[in-house]
Amino acid sequence: MKLDISTYANKFTAATDPELTSLIKLDAKAAEWPIAIIKTLKVSIKDLKIVAYYPEKYAEEVENLEYGTSNDSPRPVFRRFLVKNEAFVFNKLSSWSVEYLFEQGVLP
């Protein structure tokens, strides 16, 4: 029996992760980011890394929020979020791997 865990994992990691998306939106809200930007944030897991997305039209505003400007202090969301949730990816992949092994009958 051939096990293709990478294909199985890729099936899950290709899509937006609702749990991580919800968490980053909560972090952005706590940092008092504009609601219009918060609503557009999405997070996925790609190549075993957390990737955050937002529309390009908000790129300059997001950069100013994340890193600050000469007039405004930074209100970082992405950098803190990535550090805080790094272990999440590995835990999730481990869970998917075990689930896959059960589904394939490798584990009883």
- Residue 66 domain-assigned (yes or no): yes
In this structure, are residues 95 and 51 in contact, taking their beta carbons and an 8 Å threshold?
A: no
Full residue range of the structural domain in which residue 67 is found: 16-95
Condensed to tens digits (0 to 9), the pLDDT of residues 69-90 reads 999 999 999 989 888 887 777 7
In this structure, are residues 85 and 50 in contact, taking their beta carbons and an 8 Å threshold?
A: yes
- Residue 38 domain-assigned (yes or no): yes
- Residue 104 domain-assigned (yes or no): no
Domain total of the chain: 1
Q: pLDDT tier at 2 (50, 70, 90 boundaries)?
A: very low
For CA atoms 89, 91, 97, 103, give the dihedral sign. negative
- Residue 55 domain-assigned (yes or no): yes
- Residue 10 domain-assigned (yes or no): no
User: What's 76's DSSP letter?
Assistant: -
Which of 11-20, 36-45, 63-72, 74-83 is modeled with the greatest confidence? 63-72
- Residue 25 domain-assigned (yes or no): yes
